Amino acid sequence: MDSTQVDPETFWDERYGESDAIWSGHVNVALADVVVERELEVGTALDLGCGEGADALWLAQHGWRTTGLDISVVAVQRAQAAAKAQGFSAAQARFEAADLMSWNSDQKFDLITASFLQSPVQFDRTQALHVAQDLVAPGGRLLVISHASFPPWAKDHHEDADHEAKHETTTPESELELLQLDERRWSVEIAELRSREITAPDGKLASLDDTVILARRTGWD
């Protein structure tokens, strides 16, 4: 069966169930760098596709009142456990298992982050990021970080008919085209590639590129 047709909630619950943790537990380097470099004023934050909670918890550690959203119940339970272990209250860091497309919130956020919201199963990423735009408060920011390259061993691991769907890379230009930010409502502050180092399965260091977009909401009209 084509994996792109698998129910996303089922896929991710099974994926997280494969091991006790599937991510490093460390904050996304580009996210941390942008928040620090831009000296973003602390406020409310929403992390989309929060996984096991590392990015949201880093923000909470730096004073943000964070909400993490993920379609996987398993991932959210791990994030909640991590928040409890670090001593955060629900007002400081809360996590919810939900599909952004059907998630209802009257709250607007000062920062919305979406890191590597690229899925090997069917997922309307364009629509999700457009929904996210409507949740940014006036003066708030949308931070989108996406894969501009993949490690060579990922290709070897996923050599199948839907390989391209699983490994769709981005550029600053393609991400801005996808976001379709209205210039009357948004100011693009960052649109660039950033490199980071990762460790390969054989222990060697490799360099990958990420696309980073930071946009500030200047108003509603």
Domain boundaries, the chain: 3-186
- pLDDT given for residue 93 in this prediction: 98
| Segment 60-106, tens digit of pLDDT | 999 999 999 999 999 999 999 999 999 999 999 999 999 988 898 88
**CATH code of the domain occupying 3-186:** 3.40.50.150
- pLDDT given for residue 155 in this prediction: 54
Average pLDDT over residues 164-168: 52
- Biggest CA pair distance of the chain: 52
- Strands lying side by side in the sheet with 65-70: 93-97, 65-70, 44-48, 109-115, 136-147, 205-217, 186-199
Is the predicted pLDDT of residue 11 greater than 90, yes or no? no
Percent of the chain exceeding pLDDT 90 equals 66
